[in-house]
């Protein structure tokens, strides 16, 4: 289980670098959601299932929804 | 953006989301979860209903008056119960308290269950309001 956690953590570092390097805004939001989901799995590995439920509901659900709505409102999606 | 597939799938999936949220709230003191996570899950189900069925249907189903009334009622209930617990517990006054029950049952943990339910109502309505204000500018 330790190897799994290390792989997840490397994935997390890669995702957080990709969020700041990406040019397209919609891709940034989707990678941010992936980051949040991996973080929820990692909380579960660290014996904090309470925080994992909250992270999966708020970080991957509500925050992504609000970000996509804001992007639609400011017309930041490239055709 | 009203598609037939979204409407039919949301009809099937919304009850399960709400039952899971109620489970997370009611078992918050003996298993992972609590008022905030369960309230967020129920709020997401309300948001899904609004996306799938459009503004008018959702506004008829979840009226502003009833939502704001339940939110304020839950807030007042939370304040009274928490204040009662603080005052009687902190200064050593021997007023009647809620029974503790046996560990492992749903009715255990004293004040935690009603406080969790109040927090769940507040968070679900707040999340729904936040989404509605972002999306269309009116509730």
Query: Do A57 and B44 touch, CB atoms closer than 8 A?
Result: yes
**pLDDT value of residue B139:** 76
Q: Please report where in the chains the tokens 């709230």 appear, as a residue.
A: B25
pLDDT at B71 over 90: yes
For chain B, the domain total comes to 1
**pLDDT value of residue B105:** 83
3-state SS string over A1-44? CHHHHHHHHHHHHHHHHHHHHCCCHHHHHHHHHHHHHHHHHHHH
CA dist., res. A45 & res. A52, Å (int): 9
Q: Which of B33, B43, B134 sits opposite A69 (nearest CB)?
A: B134
Predicted ipTM of the assembly = 0.79
Q: Which residues of chain B does A66 touch, with a Cβ-Cβ cutoff of 8 Å?
A: 130-131, 134
**pLDDT value of residue A76:** 65
pLDDT at B4 over 80: yes
CB contact under 8 A, A53 and B44: no
- Mutating which of A52, A55, A57, A70 best tests the B interface, going by the most B Cβ atoms within 10 A? A57
Q: Which residue intervals of chain B are DSSP H helices?
A: 4-26, 35-53, 55-61, 64-90, 112-135
**pLDDT value of residue B124:** 93
Percent of chain A at pLDDT above 70? 95
pLDDT at A77 over 70: no
pLDDT at B36 over 60: yes
How far are the Cα atoms of A52, A55, B36, B106, B125 from residue A58, in angstroms, in the given order? Answer: 10, 5, 10, 26, 14
Nearest CA to A55 out of A67, A70, A38 is that of A38
Note down the domain range covering B14.
4-91+98-135
pLDDT digits (tens, 9 = 90+) for A36-71: 999 999 999 889 999 999 998 888 888 998 898 888
CA-based R_g, chain A, Å: 14
Mean pLDDT of the B122-132 span: 92
Nearest CA to B12 out of B48, B65, B40, B62 is that of B48
**pLDDT value of residue B1:** 61
CB contact under 8 A, A57 and B135: no
């Amino acid at each position: 289980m330790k190897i799994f956690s290390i792989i997840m953590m490397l994935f997390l570092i890669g995702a957080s670098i990709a969020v700041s390097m990406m040019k397209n805004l919609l891709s940034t939001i989707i990678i941010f959601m992936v980051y949040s989901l991996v973080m929820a799995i990692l909380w579960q590995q660290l014996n904090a299932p309470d925080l994992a439920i909250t992270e999966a509901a708020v970080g991957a659900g509500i925050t992504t929804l609000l970000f996509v709505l804001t992007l639609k409102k400011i017309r930041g999606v490239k055709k | 953006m009203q598609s037939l597939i979204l409407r039919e799938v949301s009809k099937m999936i919304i009850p399960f989301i709400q039952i899971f949220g109620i489970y997370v709230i009611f078992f918050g003191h003996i298993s992972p979860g609590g008022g905030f996570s369960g309230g967020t899950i129920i709020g997401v189900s309300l948001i899904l209903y609004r996306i799938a069925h459009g503004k008018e249907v959702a506004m008829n189903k979840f009226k502003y008056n009833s939502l704001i009334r339940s939110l304020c009622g839950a807030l007042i209930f939370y304040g009274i119960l928490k204040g009662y617990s603080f005052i009687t517990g902190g200064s050593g006054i021997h007023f009647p308290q809620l029974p503790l029950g046996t560990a492992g049952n749903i009715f255990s943990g004293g004040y935690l269950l009603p406080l969790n339910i109040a927090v769940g109502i507040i968070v679900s309505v707040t999340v729904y309001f936040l989404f509605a204000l972002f999306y269309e500018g009116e509730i």
